[in-house]
Structure 1
Amino acid sequence: MNKQVKVLVIEDDSYICELITLYTEKSGYIVSIANDGMKGLEMFYDSPPDLVILDIMMPEMDGWEVCKEIRKWDKTPIIMLTGRGESYDKLKGFDLGADDYLVKPFDPNELMARIKAVLRRANPMLDANGTIEHPLLKIDRQQYKVTCAGQEIVLPPKEMELLYFLASHSNQVFTRQQLLDQLWGFDFEGDPRTINVHIKRIREKLGDSNPYWNVKTIRGVGYKFEVESQCYE
């Protein structure tokens, strides 16, 4: 049931491409390679990845331009690679919308740690070891299993993903549209009220008498997974 993470590497150095491929595939990711900026953009549009690893100095189109074009389209996480470590380059990368920055030569293990951190920030549903625990509640995304008050609760995939997402952002309010964008995708054309239906079913299955947490409606705004702070003291 796990979604495999797709990584697009846009880099003209074949050795670095091989190195990144070796480590990312070992972590279970699907890797695609482009050796110039124009080809990288084509591959990005043809099959949008979950994360882009982007070199700055490349033929056809440099990494700055590729980053700008990607940011016109969506918010896919980008880690930029460069042979230069000047602070100006880093600031320019962040200004253009890059999520992280790594100077060559780099430790592949450090790159993997950064990839996982960026993916967690961008979308907790992509965290390979996704388990969330609150008092009387455990959500194991890897096994798609929810345990509430010692009882296993069966949730369909979308209800499971919705609960996991909300619980991984405790006390943060999300609009219906934000939840649709995160879990159904930006191109979803269905009724936004589908969120209401899923929330209703989640509440029915988990019950509404828990003193520690609840899936709360914020009238006129959306929903949040509300956690009582004293239960962690």
Structure 2
Amino acid sequence: MSYNILLVEDETGIAEGIMDYMKESEITFTWAADGDEALALVYEHEYDLALLDVMLPGADGFEICRAIRAKSYVPIIFLTARGREEDRLYGYDLGCDDYVVKPFSMAELQAKIQSFLRRSKGLWTKNQVIQVGNIKMYPDRLLVEAAGEEVRLAPKEYAMLKYLMEHKGMIVTRDDMLVRLWGYDYDGGDRVVDNHVKKLRKALGDSGKLIKTVFAKGYRME
């Protein structure tokens, strides 16, 4: 299977290095060197994954991330020199899937890209349903229903709910969710998990009570 990735990076050396390193893979890159060009591409085309620098001429990476999330749940990875926790949390709140801080290993970046592509492609058959109580999830359509009503979730809350539903009856620790949803190299605190669980419960309304807090451990869905 071939993939089309949007690469938004204003440093020519980095962009060319990424494309050269992965030239033997089944990946086609569309490269934009400034944010305004990238926004035009986002509005006109569909991509399987996006690699976004944050600091760019024109629109910044956060604005591009918002534009992508307005139309798609494709994986988004930020390539950035910004390593501060507040910057990462802001990116995650906008819907990004991971951060790779410069300077980074090309091998690590390629592994992350392949992992996200595998997760987002071909993992679910048509009309498959995951159900816990009165919550139903249709992964092929990225659709969630609670008590028969459609629920709109941000990408992180959707991924969190899916993980909890897949592990019905099991304790899912905060560390489990940090690794699964934010990556092994995330160095922020686990309060980010609690914040997203709070948002998820609110979005689900009364059905949010199905997500139980396990004291000093994490969460369980039952």
| Correspondence for 2:10 among 12, 20, 29 | 12
What's the offset of the Cα at 1:5? 0.7
Matched to 2:107, the amino acid is: N
What's the offset of the Cα at 1:116? 1.2
- Mapping for residues 41-60 of structure 1, pairs under 5 Å: 41-60=39-58
8 Å CA contact 1:24–1:30 kept in 2: the answer is: no
| Correspondence for 2:76 among 66, 73, 78 | 78
8 Å CA contact 1:24–1:31 kept in 2: the answer is: no
Per the normalisation by structure 2, the TM-score is 0.56
Q: Between Structure 1 and Structure 2, whose CA radius of gyration is higher?
A: 1
Q: Secondary structure at the match of 2:58?
A: coil
Matched to 2:7, the amino acid is: V
Q: Secondary structure at the match of 1:73?
A: coil
Q: Which runs of 5+ in 2 are unaligned?
A: 143-222
The aligned length equals 140
What's the offset of the Cα at 1:41? 1.7
Matched to 1:162, the amino acid is: T
2:190 corresponding residue in structure 1: none
Q: Which runs of 5+ in 1 are unaligned?
A: 126-160, 183-233
1:162 corresponding residue in structure 2: 125
User: Are positions 1:108 and 2:106 aligned together?
Assistant: yes
What's the offset of the Cα at 1:178? 3.8
What's the offset of the Cα at 1:177? 9.7
Deviations 1:30-68 (A, max 9, x none): 111001111112112222110000000001100011111
What's the offset of the Cα at 1:180? 5.8
Shift >3 Å, 4+ stretches: 176-182
Matches of 1:179 and 1:80, distance apart in 2 = 24
Q: Percent identity between the aligned chains?
A: 38
2:60 corresponding residue in structure 1: 62
What's the offset of the Cα at 1:124? 3.7
Per the normalisation by structure 1, the TM-score is 0.54
